[in-house]
Amino acid sequence: MSNNDVVSRTFRALVESADRKFARVRDVPAYGRVQNQHYFHKVFKAYMRLWKYQQENRGKLVESGLNRWEIGEIASRIGQLYFGQYMRTSEARFLVEAYVFYEAILYRRYFEGFKGPGKDVGVRFKELRFYARFLLVSLILNRTEMVKLLADRFKSLVDDSKVNFRETNFKEWRQVVQEIVRFMNDDTAFMNVRPLRYCATFDSYPASLPYVARFHAKKVLKFQDALLTSYHRNEVKFAELTLDTHRMLQCLEWEPSGSFYQKHPAEIKENGISYDHSGASGLIDMNLAADMTDPTLPPNPRKAILYRPSVTHLIAVMATICEELPPDSIMLVYLSASGKASRSNVTQTEILGGSQKLSKNKVVSIHEQNNTLPESCVNDKGESSGYYDKYLWFGPRGNNGLNNLYPGDIIPFTRRPLFLIIDSDNSHAFKVLHGAERGERAALLLSPLRPANLPDANIAQNGSQFTFFLTAPLSAFCQLVGLSPPDTETDVYSDAEKILSTAFSELEVILCTSKSLDLVWAQVLLDPFLRRLILRFIFCRSVLSFFCLSQNSDQYLPSCLPLLPDSVSPDSEVMQAAVVRLAKHFKIAHRFHFGDMELDVM
In a domain, 355, yes or no: no
Instruction: Assess whether 225 and 157 both reside in one domain.
Output: no
Residue 339 pairs with which residues in a beta bridge? 392
pLDDT band at 370 (very low <50, low <70, confident <90, very high): very low
In a domain, 486, yes or no: yes
Domain boundary among 143, 160, 190: 190
Q: What pLDDT sits at residue 240?
A: 93
Domain that holds residue 130: 3-190
Question: From CA 208, how far away is CA 216, in angstroms rounded?
Answer: 14
pLDDT at residue 582 greater than cutoff 50: yes
pLDDT at residue 554 greater than cutoff 90: no
Question: From CA 370, how far away is CA 367, in angstroms rounded?
Answer: 5
Distance (Å) of CA 470 to CA 14, 236, 340 = 48, 18, 24
Specify whether the CB–CB gap between 354 and 401 falls below 8 A. Answer: yes
Count of domains for the chain: 2
Instruction: Assess whether 163 and 238 both reside in one domain.
Output: no
Cβ neighbours for 274, distance < 8 A, ≥ 6 positions apart:
268
Distance of CA 358 to the CA centre of its chain: 39
Question: From CA 459, how far away is CA 376, in angstroms rounded?
Answer: 35
User: Which amino acid would we find at residue 25?
Assistant: V
pTM above 0.95, yes or no: no
Instruction: Assess whether 54 and 180 both reside in one domain.
Output: yes
Instruction: Assess whether 222 and 184 both reside in one domain.
Output: no
SS3 264: coil
Instruction: Assess whether 49 and 169 both reside in one domain.
Output: yes
Q: Where are the alpha helices (DSSP H) in 109-242?
A: 121-140, 144-164, 171-187, 200-203, 209-214
CA angle, corner 473, sides to 468 and 478, nearest 5? Answer: 90
In a domain, 163, yes or no: yes
pLDDT at residue 215 greater than cutoff 60: yes
10 Å Cβ neighbour count for 204? 16
pLDDT band at 282 (very low <50, low <70, confident <90, very high): very low
Work out the percent of the chain whose per-residue pLDDT is above 70. Answer: 79
Residue 302 pairs with which residues in a beta bridge? 225
Name the region of 265 (left: φ>0; alpha: ψ -120 to 50; beta: rest): beta
In a domain, 268, yes or no: no
Work out the percent of the chain whose per-residue pLDDT is above 90. Answer: 63
Sheet holding 390-393, edge to edge: 339-341, 390-393, 404-405
The pLDDT of 29-56, averaged and rounded, is: 83
In a domain, 402, yes or no: no
Q: Where are the alpha helices (DSSP H) in 296-381?
A: 311-324, 348-351, 366-372
Q: What pLDDT sits at residue 186?
A: 83
Q: What pLDDT sits at residue 27?
A: 76
Specify whether the CB–CB gap between 507 and 531 falls below 8 A. Answer: no
pLDDT band at 242 (very low <50, low <70, confident <90, very high): very high
Mind listing the pLDDT tens digit for each residue in 385-396?
679 889 999 987
Number of H helices, E strands in the chain: 22, 11
Mind listing the pLDDT tens digit for each residue in 284-336?
544 433 444 577 789 999 999 999 999 999 999 999 999 999 999 999 999 99
Instruction: Assess whether 150 and 238 both reside in one domain.
Output: no
Specify whether the CB–CB gap between 474 and 500 falls below 8 A. Answer: yes
pLDDT at residue 374 greater than cutoff 50: no
Instruction: Assess whether 173 and 217 both reside in one domain.
Output: no
Specify whether the CB–CB gap between 408 and 348 falls below 8 A. Answer: no
Q: What is the largest CA-CA distance in the chain?
A: 93
10 Å Cβ neighbour count for 451? 20
Specify whether the CB–CB gap between 84 and 25 falls below 8 A. Answer: yes
Specify whether the CB–CB gap between 439 and 415 falls below 8 A. Answer: yes
User: Which amino acid would we find at residue 171?
Assistant: K
Specify whether the CB–CB gap between 337 and 460 falls below 8 A. Answer: no
In a domain, 161, yes or no: yes
| 63 phi and psi angles, rounded to 5 deg | -65, -30
Q: What pLDDT sits at residue 351?
A: 36
pLDDT at residue 350 greater than cutoff 50: no
Instruction: Assess whether 78 and 226 both reside in one domain.
Output: no
Q: What pLDDT sits at residue 401?
A: 74
Instruction: Assess whether 183 and 211 both reside in one domain.
Output: no
Specify whether the CB–CB gap between 347 and 372 falls below 8 A. Answer: no
Specify whether the CB–CB gap between 292 and 85 falls below 8 A. Answer: no
Domain boundary among 190, 220, 242: 190
Instruction: Assess whether 416 and 532 both reside in one domain.
Output: yes
In a domain, 376, yes or no: no
pLDDT band at 35 (very low <50, low <70, confident <90, very high): low
DSSP string across 357-418 = --GGGPPPPHHHHHHHS-GGGB-TTS-B-STTTEEEE-S-S-STTTTEE-HHHHGGGGGS-E
Instruction: Assess whether 149 and 80 both reside in one domain.
Output: yes
10 Å Cβ neighbour count for 168? 12
Mean confidence (pLDDT) of the chain: 83
Closest residue by Cα to residue 416 from 539, 321, 346, 345: 321
2 burial class (0-12, 13-18, 19+ CB within 10 angstroms)?
exposed
| 470 phi and psi angles, rounded to 5 deg | -70, -25
Mind listing the pLDDT tens digit for each residue in 476-518?
999 999 887 666 778 898 999 999 999 999 999 999 999 999 9
Closest residue by Cα to residue 412 from 394, 439, 389: 439
In a domain, 217, yes or no: yes
Instruction: Assess whether 465 and 580 both reside in one domain.
Output: yes
Domain boundary among 138, 164, 190: 190
Mind listing the pLDDT tens digit for each residue in 413-467?
999 999 999 999 999 999 999 999 999 999 999 999 999 876 554 666 778 999 9
Closest residue by Cα to residue 227 from 205, 258, 248: 248
Specify whether the CB–CB gap between 338 and 390 falls below 8 A. Answer: no
